[in-house]
Structure 1
Amino acid sequence: MSRARLNVGSWGKIRTRKVQDNPRRYEASGRVRVTTSRVDQIKAIAETEAAAVAAFKTEANTRVSFAAADELSPNTTVSELVQMMINQLRTGVALNPVRPQTVDQYETVLTVLSGQTRGGKYPTIGGLPLRQVTKQQVRRWLRDVSVISPATGKRCKAVAKRAFDLAIDEGVDLWGGNPAEKAPLKRAEKRPPKALTPADITVLRERVRSWQTPRKRTDLLGIVDMLIATGMRPGELFALRWEDVDLVAQPATVTVAGTTVELKGRRADGKGVRRQPFGKTDAAYRTLALPKWEAVQLTERRVSAASEYVFPNEDGGLLNIRNVGTRWRQARGEEYEGVTLYDFRRTVATILARGVSDAAAASQLGHGDVAVTHHHYIERATDAGDYTGVLEGLAP
């Protein structure tokens, strides 16, 4: 039986063994297809089996990235170009790297280019060689994708811009500039910030309390209360460790020093839900004072804590934000359909803006730009203007 043909950028079975003359070191070996016409045999040695496999994958990705750049030509297809760009990001050789979770999102564009999503409803230019691609085609493709899904269109544009920049940098400039640069997109409908009322919060708390049973290991009520007390991002809350909490201080504080991310792949390979030791923005690293009622709840929780995380999963590890979101939707009920865990964040922002200032709300939420808080998190009534000079004439 013949070997299955590898796709460019993929490897076959990785074999591991102890190095004969040094039993404390391991060797990982296998083959990787670096171009359509070239397959390399690779070996990597490290102190542990897992480290050897990781070193093999790093070397494989590096070879694919450099070989692909050498092969880039007017005959390269758009999908192949995007794959080359992603390989560069994976291996860290790109000039402007992005976070691993962002690369995972970029990779989903390959399914759009292949027409494999939404039953093939997305238009595609993935199979076209670069020599046949025009600036008008790229812009039309991005526009049409954004009409179906503004979010997908926005992601496709970001990926296309990086990919065509790569082509131009490697000498394949057939368009007199990046064809995706100024492509117009349909924007998603803006959802005005909506804060929950005290009555809403009371009802939602009771619904969560009713949903919570001893058999449901996720402390959803505790999570909701902490979001109400701090306005933290859910990912920040799930990454919160007891070492980040100071219950002795007056008032008690928590320091937001990380967030959770979910990387595509197996947990054994270091993927899945992981704690990222920095936040979404530079301003995300902050210390928040706790209201007394939440400090009391955390003090009670600390007594029985068996995990380094304040809100762990049932195994003591990190909660998956998607799983918590599912449980939240079960608990909130149809009346509050559309209310997400992020709405508690908007509520905190609105209360602080009204009671203190927009700047105070931005600081609490971890925004470096007050305008972001102002436009996307604070619920405001429309200012109708001052017409009292006219209305005075209606006095009885």
Structure 2
Amino acid sequence: MRNDGKARARVRYRDLSGVVRQLEAVRQSQTAAVRALTEKVESLAGSAAGREVAANTRMTTAVEQLLDAESADTRIRPQTLVTYRRVAYEHVIPKLGKLTIAECTTGRIETFLQNLASTRPGQMKTARTLLSLSLGRAVRHGVIAFNPVREARIPVRQKEHVRALTAVEVARIRDATRGRCEARAILGGPLDYFPMDVVDLALATGARMGELLGIRWKDVNLDAETPTVTISGTLIYGENGRLARQPFGKTRKSHRTLLFPTFAIDVLNRVVKPWLRTTECHARLSHRAMATSYRPRISIDSGDKSGQRPVLIG
């Protein structure tokens, strides 16, 4: 207590450069002085050496700072940012967001990742990447000595054996799809074989669903002696939640030209020709993708959801 009746709180503070100095705060009461001094120390700890994070920074803040940094990086694909944000706000922040960086131990991260892997193995990998990048920034800023994500053990998934479908299995898939289309018509819905067309094109090309629905008419060459289709892009959900065509595939090997079997040519002739009645129409549609602009009609993850025929998107 000072002579003027005010309370003083003092503490010795050692910064990142190793320099020890005395800090103090003077207030009307001892409680207020301690609170003010605590805020001063936290402010120094958070801003030392220009750091954006500190040991007491919540993981919510750390992850959101990472997302902002990744958004500014032109090398990151839009679809990757969408995936990062979805996993961050659906899994990482709800489970770990209230912890501070210092509290994110390897054990806590390992438990979180193992629990997520049991239900969402694909999203677990993305969550691990987000945590590793977020805590990696903390390491670079000198907040923590090592990245605890690196030591976290996660379940190793056994790679499934990939094999080609047999003729019997292909017939069953086509029969089941046709039956689904016709069952909808029996229940009063429109008779639409578009899901059947998608299945046939998938069987013909082996393309991913996003690649398949991202095929443009200019990518198809039916006039050649051997008809071909070029896979040159894929459909993605943008940050606004709308479907858009990405002019490149998931990997470097995604761009490829495939031969078209006869049954696939029949599908394209049946689906495409109604839209290609004039030269002007052909020029207008040649750059558009075979997909829908109305999101609920098609999921690029699992194909058509409602059986409604799509319209072309720009």
Give 2:290's aligned residue.
311
Aligned twin of 1:100? 78
Structure 1 residues 321, 149: CA separation in 2 closer, same or farther (over 3 Å shift)?
closer
Code of the aligned partner of 2:59: V
Deviation at 1:144, TM superposition (A): 4.0
Paired residues for 1:137-176 under 5 Å: 137-172=108-143, 174=144, 176=145
The reply to whether residue 78 of structure 1 matches residue 59 of structure 2 is: yes
Structure 1 counterpart of 2:256, from 272, 281, 286:
286
How high is the TM-score relative to the length of structure 1?
Answer: 0.54
Equivalence for 1:212: 181
Partner amino acid, structure 2, of 1:237: L
Give the superposition deviation at 1:159: 0.8
Instruction: Name the CA shift for 1:113/1:287 in 2 (closer, same or farther; >3 Å).
Output: closer
Match of 2:149 in 1: 180
**d(CA) in 2 for partners of 1:296 and 1:152?**
38
**Distance across 1 between alignment mates of 2:238 and 2:293:** 20
The amino acid of 1:289's aligned partner reads L
Hey, what's the Cα distance between the residues in 1 that align with 2:225 and 2:168?
A: 29
Quote the offset at 1:283 in angstroms. 0.9
Offset, 1:249: 0.9
Question: For the residues of structure 2 that align with 1:314 and 1:110, how far apart are their CA atoms?
Answer: 26
What amino acid is the match of 2:151? K
**2:267 equivalent to 1:297:** yes
Secondary structure of 1:304's aligned partner:
helix
Q: Which amino acid aligns with 2:299?
A: N
Counterpart of 2:233, as a letter, is: G
Q: Distance in 1 between matches of 2:305 and 2:156?
A: 27
CA deviation after TM superposition for structure 1 residue 277, in Å = 0.2
| Larger gyration radius, structure 1 or structure 2 | 2
Letter in 1 for 2:226: P
Q: Compute the displacement of 1:314 (Å).
A: 8.1
**2:192 counterpart of 1:222:** no
3-state SS in 2 of match to 1:250: coil
Q: Distance in 1 between matches of 2:172 and 2:302?
A: 22
- Alignment CA distance shift 1:233-1:145 (3 Å): closer
Task: Say whether the 8 Å CA contact 1:74–1:131 is kept in structure 2.
Answer: yes
Task: Kindly indicate whether residue 230 of structure 2 is the aligned counterpart of residue 255 of structure 1.
Answer: yes
Take 1:133 and 1:182, find their aligned partners in 2: how far apart are those partners?
Answer: 12
The verdict on how the C-alpha distance between 1:166 and 1:196 changes in structure 2, with shifts beyond 3 A counting, is same
CA distance in 2, matches of 1:210, 1:149: 31
DSSP-derived class of the 2:65 partner: helix
**In structure 2, distance between residues paired with 1:156 and 1:224:** 32
Query: Residue by residue, what CA displacement relative to the aligned partner does 1:82-116 show, whole Å, maximum 9, x if unpaired?
Result: 111011112227xxx4322222222222332443x
Please state whether the residue corresponding to 2:97 is helix, strand or coil: coil
Match of 1:254, SS? strand
Once residues 301 and 128 of structure 1 are traced to their aligned partners in structure 2, the CA distance between those partners, rounded to angstroms, is 54
Give unmatched runs, 5+ long, in structure 2: 1-49, 277-284, 308-314
Task: Tell me which residue corresponds to 2:27.
Answer: none
2:300 is aligned with 1:321: yes
Aligned alpha-carbon RMSD (Å)? 3.1
Give the deviation of 1:198 after TM superposition.
1.1
User: What is the rounded CA distance, in whole Å, between the counterparts of 2:117 and 2:302 in structure 1?
Assistant: 28
**Partner SS, residue 74 of structure 1:** coil
Normalization by structure 2: what TM-score? 0.66
- Equivalent residues, number: 242
Structure 1 pair 257/319, CA: closer, same or farther in 2 (3 Å)? farther
Quote the Cα distance in structure 1 between the aligned partners of 2:57 and 2:83: 23
Gaps of 5+ in 1: 1-68, 116-123, 266-270, 329-396
Structure 2 vs 1, CA of residues 143 and 302 (structure 1 numbering), >3 Å: closer, same or farther? closer
Structure 1 residue aligned with 2:100: 129
Cα pair 2:209 2:301 within 8 Å, conserved: no
